[in-house]
């Protein structure tokens, strides 16, 4: 137990220092609130309006998924390094951990954690299978607004030649 004494003393000193710093700042800090001090600071620019919308929660969910994968790697790494020493008990523990982890991952993905775009409305199959294939019935072309169609391009190339 004597080998842990320096760690316990350092932990106690850290807690005492944190508590004293907190109370000293409460006692000694000036209390003169103003509108300028209460306003949010954005790189020296006074905000002229409220933000347009809240930040989507999807970004945080993806970050949590990333952390979940990191934790799994941290737990699997020692097993992968020395699996012969750890034996079959560790194998079954890692298998159980992986099953629980991937079940949670499938649940989160099924709940829409990775659906980034707006909600898609599905068309009936017979509506999407048109008899005549056009650019509007087969795929969505992005960036064609204002461009020349193929006939206009051919006629302009003929004029240039």
Measured at the CA of 89, the angle between CA 73 and CA 94, to 5 degrees, comes to 20
Residue 76's contacts (CB-CB under 8 Å, 6 or more residues apart) are 94, 98
Does any domain span residue 25? no
Which residue in the block uniquely carries the two structure tokens 């306003």? 39
Residue 42, φ and ψ in degrees, nearest 5? -130, 80
Does any domain span residue 89? yes
Does any domain span residue 27? no
Does any domain span residue 104? yes
Does any domain span residue 113? yes
Does any domain span residue 76? yes
Question: Quick check: 120 pLDDT over 60?
Answer: no
Does any domain span residue 85? yes
Does any domain span residue 111? yes
Question: Quick check: 145 pLDDT over 70?
Answer: no
Q: Tell me which residue range forms the domain holding 111.
A: 56-117
Mean pLDDT of 142-159: 58
- How much is the pLDDT for 14? 97
Mean pLDDT for the chain?
Answer: 76
Total tally of structural domains belonging to the chain: 1
């Amino acid at each position: 137990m004597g080998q842990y004494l320096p760690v316990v003393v350092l932990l106690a000193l850290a807690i005492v220092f944190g508590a004293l710093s907190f109370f000293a700042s409460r006692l000694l800090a000036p209390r003169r609130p103003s509108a300028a001090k209460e306003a949010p600071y954005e790189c020296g620019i006074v905000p002229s309006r409220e933000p347009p919308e809240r930040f989507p929660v999807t970004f945080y969910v993806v970050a949590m998924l990333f952390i979940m994968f990191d934790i799994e790697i941290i737990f699997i790494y020692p097993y992968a390094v020395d699996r012969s020493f750890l034996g079959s008990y560790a194998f079954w523990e890692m298998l159980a951990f992986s099953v629980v982890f991937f079940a949670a991952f499938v649940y989160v993905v099924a709940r829409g954690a990775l659906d980034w775009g707006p909600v898609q409305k599905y068309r009936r199959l017979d509506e999407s299978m048109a008899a005549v294939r056009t650019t509007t019935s087969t795929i969505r072309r992005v960036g064609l607004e204002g461009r020349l169609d193929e006939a206009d391009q051919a006629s302009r190339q003929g004029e240039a030649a």
